[in-house]
Amino acid sequence: MAAKLGGRSLSALGSRGEASDLDVTHEINVTPFIDVMLVLLIIFMVAAPLATVDIGVDLPATAAEPQPRPDKPVFVTVKADLAIAVGEETIARDALSLSLDTATKGRKDERIYLRADKAVSYGDLMEVMNILRNAGYLKVALVGLDRGN
């Protein structure tokens, strides 16, 4: 004798295929997972910039080996009185691009070594770096004193 379920026999359900309301779905509901991931994404997008802004640190001197320099490096020096020199020759600010073209023989991919006096402000140094970038010299190395170990 067939078992009864809601007025229908189980054998009848199996033979007629009317068990649609008893089917079990084997799919994972990913909607809550997506909601959690979006909330985490928003939290990290908001928190990440806060972790790097306005943090005062006193950086230690590096113990890394200095990188080898080319045989004849091109030095751009910003003096304390904001005068600019390419190599040993002091030049006008508007002649910096032409002097670098002469010193590098027109090779814009050559690394320029930029050094500045301690008295030079950050803004003045950035102006010189902008002149270098506008002239097409994108490889700029900042030169400092090695404090040693």
**CA 140/CA 114 separation, integer angstroms:** 7
Q: What is the pLDDT of residue 57?
A: 44
Q: What is the pLDDT of residue 21?
A: 63
Question: How far apart are the two ends of the chain, measured CA to CA in Å?
Answer: 93
Contact 66, 122 (CB under 8 A): no
Q: What is the pLDDT of residue 2?
A: 52
Q: What is the pLDDT of residue 8?
A: 53
Distances 31 to 24, 57, 62 between C-alpha atoms, Å: 19, 43, 49
Nearest to 114 by CA among 127, 106, 125, 104: 125
Q: What is the pLDDT of residue 4?
A: 53
pTM for the model? 0.53
Domain residue limits, the chain = 74-144
Residues in Cβ contact with 18 at an 8 Å cutoff, skipping those fewer than 6 apart: 8, 12
Q: What is the pLDDT of residue 127?
A: 93
Q: What is the pLDDT of residue 40?
A: 93
Q: What is the pLDDT of residue 129?
A: 92
CATH number of 74-144: 3.30.420.270
In the chain (149 residues long), the average pLDDT of successive 10-residue segments reads 52 52 76 91 81 50 67 85 87 89 88 85 90 90 67
Distances 107 to 19, 96, 102, 140 between C-alpha atoms, Å: 78, 15, 9, 13
Q: What is the pLDDT of residue 27?
A: 81
Q: What is the pLDDT of residue 42?
A: 92
